Amino acid sequence: MTKATKLFVGNYKGGVGKTTSIYQIALHMVTKGRKVLLVDLDPQCSLSEICLSKTDITLDTLQDNECLNYIYDMWNERKKFPLLKFDMTCSNLVKQTKEGIHFIPSNIFYTGGGLDELALKLSNDFYDLLPLQQFFKESEIEKEFDYILFDCPPSNTMLTQGAFLLSDYYVIPSIIQTLSIRGVVHYIKTVDSIFEKRCTSSDHSLIATACFGEKPRLLGIFETLKKGTVNNTSELQELKDELKKINIGSLQSNYLFDTIIKSNEHIARNTANGTLCEEYEPLTDEIVTSLEGKRSHAVAVIGDKRWLR
Ligand SMILES: Nc1ncnc2c1ncn2[C@@H]1O[C@H](COP(=O)(O)OP(=O)(O)OP(=O)(O)O)[C@@H](O)[C@H]1O
Ligand SMILES: [Mg+2]
């Protein structure tokens, strides 16, 4: 069975362009003929609203079983009825924009609560990292896509941890300023330590490997919201030096993508109504080349992941 490559976009710093970037990257991927599923893990549902702007549906008309909240709600509910078999395939979840991006929206109006409230109902046990993984396994929708991209909110919850572990790769958009640099390094270390804690040194390491496979790999970091007049060469060097010290590695040499996304009001405006911004084409090319250029190499499938060797 061919499986999608799963990738999350994250940074614990808010407002660095995660949602804008993931939408634009997905749209460029679709334009280049890839089949893409976006998953909105943010309770604020900005990505869902952007995608819905390119459909005839609105957030307040979505039914409960048409959003990601349903999966977590169902997961919590079914713990009360351990002997009953529930269907986790949830065929109503996946929507499609006019341009052909598939997406699973989250919904702030969900009757059982927003994703933040539902995340709080999950326990801290390994078992509660599994709802997303189980949904993908049972629904088998992975085989319909080349890429599944998760938009992660700037928070560390069971919900985001479940998405980290399920992903093959991750990318980090960042503003390059002294304070954000520490944030990027902290984020990479956190992803690493979540994997160590949940999968390697956990009592459930066997099940963890079967469900999640290997640690998600850092695909690369890209600079966003760069102001035209700012010279941040020294901050950029500081970031490279800090990254060398942590020695985690990435698919980009020097960790950084070449593309820089400048701060430009039209990117904000166009993304809000779902329009393509050409500024993201070179970045999408870099991401796709990085992943597919190496597909001629052996692909290992470990747990629910596909990995380039
Ligand atoms: N290149 C850009 N130029 C100008 N404005 C931008 C650019 N990228 C994003 N923005 C704007 O910056 C704000 C934050 O962007 P976005 O919502 O994508 O960030 P985020 O990292 O997803 O935020 P959060 O952490 O809250 O999820 C938004 O108003 C967006 O329209
Ligand atoms: Mg966001």
pLDDT in tens, 104-135: 999 999 999 999 999 999 999 999 999 999 99
Strand ranges across the sheet with 217-226: 95-96, 102-104, 36-40, 147-151, 5-9, 169-174, 217-226, 256-262
Mutate to test the pocket of ligand 1, among 11, 13, 19, 277 (most ligand atoms within 8 A of CB): 19
Q: How far is CA 292 from CA 7, 191, 222, 286, 307, in A?
A: 13, 24, 19, 10, 11
> For ligand 1, atom 1, which residue shows the shortest CA distance?
263
User: In which element (H, E) is residue 173 found?
Assistant: strand 169-174
Gap from CA of 149 to ligand 2 centroid (Å): 13
pLDDT band of residue 296 (cuts 50, 70, 90) is: very low
Mean pLDDT, range 126-155, rounded to an integer = 95
Gap from CA of 226 to ligand 2 centroid (Å): 18
Q: What is the pLDDT of residues 190-249, one digit of tens each?
A: 999 999 999 998 888 899 999 999 999 999 999 999 998 888 999 999 999 999 888 787
Question: What's the pLDDT score for residue 297?
Answer: 52
CATH number of 242's domain? 3.40.50.300
Q: What is the pLDDT of residues 178-192, one digit of tens each?
A: 888 899 999 999 999
pLDDT of residue 6 exceeding 90: yes
Measured CA to CA, the distance from residue 137 to residue 148 in angstroms comes to 14
pLDDT band of residue 309 (cuts 50, 70, 90) is: low
Record the pTM.
0.94
Q: Which two tokens stand for residue 166?
A: 């399920």
Gap from CA of 9 to ligand 2 centroid (Å): 9
The count of structural domains within the chain is 1
Question: What's the pLDDT score for residue 301?
Answer: 67
Residue range of the domain that includes 123: 5-308
